[in-house]
Structure 1
Amino acid sequence: MTVTSSYPRPHPPEAARVTSETAELLEVLWGRASTAPVSASQLRVLFILEHNEGINLRTLADALGSTPPSTSRLCDRLEAVGFVRRQTAASSRREVQLELSRHGRAFLADLRGRREAELQSVLERMPVAQRTALLTGLEAFCDAAAAQIHGGGAADDARTA
């Protein structure tokens, strides 16, 4: 796939189309790297818990855009394979906090290593200048996406730049 445009900088619709195609290709590459004993939904739970240690079930359900009963079932399965632990909150015995187990953290580290190896084999085929441009663009994309997700102005600034 080649990005061709008569513009010095691709307009947002063209960039969105190419980014979407890229995400689809990443899914294929990551699928090759995955020997995951978890579903895509369960993997999202692991990623959320990794960055939000000790959150409760309702907060996790909100982050997933799901219901607490569905989220609880996801966590049941992850707890059964040893990736998640539930603990009673110190502040309230009625509240349960969720956290990754050591096994869950090791699983994510291994998965990331396999994914990065798949990506590295693709990136090695690219000229250095294009890899550099890709890295610069991805860093800006991550900044803009994080700002949008976390509420804010930096994403608006990035869109107008």
Structure 2
Amino acid sequence: MTSEAAELLEVLWGRASTAPVSASQLRVLFILEHQEGINLRTLADALGSTPPSTSRLCDRLQAVGYVERAASSISRRELQLHLSRRGRSFLAELRSRRERALESVLAQMPVAKRTALLQGLEALCATAAAQIQEEDGTDARSA
């Protein structure tokens, strides 16, 4: 059921166009939103990619005005990556389109089913957050 729900959300959200960015570029924007100021190597690691490929992704995102590069305060040889104001605006608009698409589906569900779904999603989020926090604590202790 989770696979089917995930696939249906992908189709539903796919209708809320991510143009002018690709799925890979969108992942970059989401990562930068949560890890502001990271360097290219850290971004490449998060993507499971190589620095040259990641640099090309960032080049394209910089060309459309969604990403900015700045010199690191730690190392002159290193660049920090930041979402631009335009990049943040793009993500906000994308989330708004996706939310409207999802709300349209939810509005057609019976109230009791929506309530049950909300309770289930709240439990899912709480459990996932706890698991992530636990794993982050384990990573910090083993470092």
**TM-score bracket relative to the smaller structure:** 0.7 to 0.9
1: distance between equivalents of 2:55 and 2:90?
20
Number of residue pairs aligned between Structure 1 and Structure 2: 136
Indicate whether 1:102 and 2:85 are aligned.
Answer: yes
Q: Corresponding residue for 2:111?
A: 128
Task: Give the superposition deviation at 1:140.
Answer: 2.3
Indicate whether 1:80 and 2:69 are aligned.
Answer: no
3-state SS in 1 of match to 2:80:
strand
Indicate whether 1:38 and 2:33 are aligned.
Answer: no
Q: Which amino acid aligns with 1:24?
A: E
Indicate whether 1:49 and 2:32 are aligned.
Answer: yes
TM-score, length of structure 2 as denominator length:
0.88
Q: Corresponding residue for 1:159?
A: none
Task: Give the superposition deviation at 1:143.
Answer: 3.1
2: distance between equivalents of 1:45 and 1:147?
25
Q: Which amino acid aligns with 1:112?
A: R
2: distance between equivalents of 1:150 and 1:59?
20
1: distance between equivalents of 2:127 and 2:45?
22
1: distance between equivalents of 2:134 and 2:34?
17
Q: Which amino acid aligns with 1:101?
A: S
- Quick one: higher RCO (CA 8 Å, sep 6+), 1 or 2? 2
Residue identity over aligned pairs, in percent, reads: 77
Q: How does 1:111-126 map to 2 (within 5 A)?
A: 111-126=94-109
Q: Which amino acid aligns with 2:124?
A: F
> Which structure is larger by alpha-carbon Rg, 1 or 2?
1
Q: Which amino acid aligns with 1:51?
A: H
Instruction: Extract unaligned runs of 5+ from structure 2.
Output: 137-143
TM-score, length of structure 1 as denominator length:
0.79
Task: Give the superposition deviation at 1:128.
Answer: 1.6
Q: 1:66 to 1:146 in 2, by over 3 A?
A: farther
Structure having the larger proportion of residues in helix: 2
Instruction: Extract unaligned runs of 5+ from structure 1.
Output: 1-17, 154-161
